Chain A
Amino acid sequence: MSFLDRLVHWFGTGANWHGPGGIPLLFERSLELSAAVVALALVLGGGLGLVLGHTGRGGLVAVNAANAFRAVPSLALLTLLAIQPAISLKWDGFLASWIALTALAIPPILTNTYVGMREVDADVRDAARAMGLRGGHVLWRVEAPLALPFVMAGVRTAAIEVVATSTLAAYVGYSDLGTYVIAGLDTQNTVEAVSGALLVGAMAALVSVALGALGRLVTPQPLRRRHPVFSLAGRPAA
Chain B
Amino acid sequence: MVLAGSPFFQWSYVTGQWGQIQGDLVQHVELSLIAVAIGAVISVPAGVAAWRYRLLRTPVLGVASALYIIPSLALFAVLGGLTGYVPPRSWVTAEFALVGYTTLVLIWNTVAGLEAVPAEAREAAVALGYSRRAELWRVDLPLALPYVFAGLRVATATVIGLVMVTALIGLGGLGQLITYGFNIAYNTPIIVGLVLSIALAAVADLLLVAAQRVVVPWSRASRRRSAG
Contact = CB atoms under 8 A, between A and B. Distances in A.
Interface stretch (A46-54, A161-169, A219-227): A161-169
Contacts of B169: 185
B72 A236 contact: yes
Contacts of B78: 193-194, 197
B77 interface: yes
Most buried by A among B168, B169, B191: B168
Contacts of B167: 75
A120 B85 CA distance: 50
Q: How large is the interface on A (under 10, 10 to 19, 20 to 34, 35 or more residues)?
A: 35 or more
Interface string B134-170: 0000000000000000000010011001101101110
A182 B168 contact: yes
Contacts of A76: 164, 178, 190, 193-194, 197
Contacts of B164: 73, 75-76, 238
Interface residues of B, number: 48
B72 A237 contact: yes
Contact of B162 (A83, A163, A194, A236): A236
A237 B74 CA distance: 10
Nearest to B76: A185
A16 interface: no
A188 B194 contact: no
B77 A181 contact: yes
Interface string B183-219: 0011100110110011001100000000000000000
Interface in A166-202: 167-168, 171-172, 178, 181-182, 184-185, 188, 190, 193-194, 196-198, 200-201
Interface of B: 4, 67-78, 80-81, 85-86, 101, 104, 154, 157-158, 161-162, 164-165, 167-169, 175, 178-179, 181-182, 185-187, 190-191, 193-194, 197-198, 201-202, 226-228
B142 to A, nearest CB: 27
Interface string A70-83: 11111111011011
Contact of A83 (B168, B185, B226): B185
A231 interface: yes
Contact of B158 (A74, A197, A200, A235): A235
Ranked nearest first, the 3 interchain pairs of A and B with the lowest CB-CB distance are: A234-B228, A197-B74, A164-B71
Contact of B201 (A71, A184, A237): A71
B71 A167 contact: yes
A201 B70 contact: yes
Contacts of B168: 171, 182, 185
Contacts of A232: 226, 228
